[in-house]
Structure 1
Amino acid sequence: MGNRLSKIYTRTGDDGSTGLADGNRIAKNAQRVEAMGMADELNCHIGVLIETLPSGDRLIDTFRRIQHHLFDLGGEFAIPGSKVISDNHIEWLEQTLDEYNTDLPPLKNFILPGGCPAAAQCHLARAVCRRAERVVVALGHEDSINTASRHYLNRLSDLLFVIARVLARRDGSQEILWEQKKPGL
């Protein structure tokens, strides 16, 4: 990468535009920029989640891999027409999801975000992932996208849900079940 980021401020975005990796400039509130930002925001939430885990936790490696994928995803959005996320990424998510889901009991109720700090942060990352997916769907309505990227986010939100369940149940913690109330209560 060299000295590519030797100067952090350029003032080129002061007019409300930003540069894409292909050299084109677009409005900072364009759907493509929103997708790039959502990948970054989700990556940040995963980073916070990692910091809630004890050193050596095997989930850290899983989350670090996801962070690399999310950085690649943001780069993909920064270069219209590029394809970085592939079916291999989705297959890895599905295999990882199956691995973590194996020992969980079937859900009979909805669960509330929480159970322990790591599970709550994982649920927050899941919610942000769902928002990122909605942004990518909207981008796909106005511009061509790599559909594998949309599939990746859909599968990632499922994985984050399952891992939140794992985190809430381990070390003596518990999942918090939603209690359906009768009308008027």
Structure 2
Amino acid sequence: MDVRFKVYTKTGDDGSSFSPLAGGRVPKDHPTMELSGALDEAVSAIGFARSLLPGELGDVDRELSRIQVLLFSAVTTLETRGKRNLVSDDDVKWMEDVSDARMEDVELFVVPSGHPAATAIHVARAVTRRLERVAVRVFREELSSDPGLHTALSVLNRSSSALFALAVHVNRRLGYREETFRP
């Protein structure tokens, strides 16, 4: 038997939503809801970028997929205040390795452009940086006292570097050169 669930509950019609982090219903503009929304935007933006990748870039698709999972894992670690520590220093190192392996020489400031997949990765990078800013705002006080939370924040921070390197790499592999800005 095919069981379906409804994607709407009608309980948010009053401007509130359930937040596991807050432990109950909160206004939809509550900082914990901002964090959930920023995560949703980031993983969706990466998913969109993945959908634009040509088939010959399956290796990049796999790296982007892992970044999506690591973003979910890092935010879960933050939201549970380290009770479910789903990221490690190995994950941070993996992001650094991706950045180092994929980064190519660029001049000054890169203006996102080129192949649609690379440009979409740049958009995902910018959205991921917003996720990091929201996480810092929500967890500012806990970050200094909990190494697990610090590792989760490091994953968020390194993800934007990895995404930048992947965007440049995709452009180069597909024969595009990025535009640069010289102040």
Aligned to 2:90: 88
Distance 1:93 1:86, change over 3 A: same
Secondary structure, counterpart of 1:111 in structure 2: strand
CA contact (8 A) 2:71 2:155 kept: no
CA distance in 2, matches of 1:73, 1:56: 29
Partner residue of 1:152?
Answer: 155
Opposite residue 98 of structure 1, the aligned amino acid is: D
Paired residue for 2:124?
125
Pair 1:37–1:74, CA change in 2 (3 A) = farther
Are residues 1:163 and 2:175 paired? no
Identity %: 34
Aligned amino acid, residue 87 of structure 1:
D
Using the TM superposition, give the Cα deviation of residue 76 of structure 1 relative to its aligned residue in structure 2, in angstroms: 4.0
What SS class does the counterpart of residue 159 from structure 1 fall into? helix
Deviation at 1:94, TM superposition (A): 1.1
8 A contact 2:122–2:167 mirrored in 1: yes
- Write the letter of the residue equivalent to 2:47: G
CA RMSD of aligned residues (A): 2.3
User: Is the deviation greater in 129-138 or in 107-116?
Assistant: 107-116
Specify the alignment match of 2:60 in structure 1. 59
Question: How far 1:81 sits from its partner (Å)?
Answer: 5.0
CA-CA distance at 1:14 after TM superposition? 2.3
Give the AA of the match of 1:21.
P
Query: What SS class does the counterpart of residue 29 from structure 1 fall into?
Result: coil
The structure whose RCO (Cα within 8 Å, separation 6+) is larger is: 2
Q: CA deviation at 1:153?
A: 1.3
Structure 2 Cα separation of the partners of residues 115 and 136 of structure 1: 30
SS in 1 for 2:6: coil
State how far apart, in whole Å, the 1-side matches of 2:101 and 2:163 are.
13
Match of residue 7 from structure 2: 8
Count of residue correspondences = 174
- C-alpha contact 1:52 1:117 (8 A) present in aligned 2: yes
Is the 2:78–2:152 Cα contact (8 Å) retained in structure 1?
Answer: no
Name the SS of the counterpart of 2:17 in structure 1. Answer: strand
Deviation at 1:122, TM superposition (A): 1.0
Structure 1 residues 97 and 128 mapped into 2: Cα distance closer, same or farther (>3 Å)? same
For 1:113, the equivalent position in structure 2 comes to 112
**Equivalent residues of 1:100, 1:162 under 8 A apart:** yes
Contact 2:19 2:32 in 1 (8 A): no
Q: Which runs of 5+ in 2 are unaligned?
A: none
For residues 100 and 15 of structure 1, the distance between their equivalents in structure 2, rounded to whole angstroms, comes to: 47
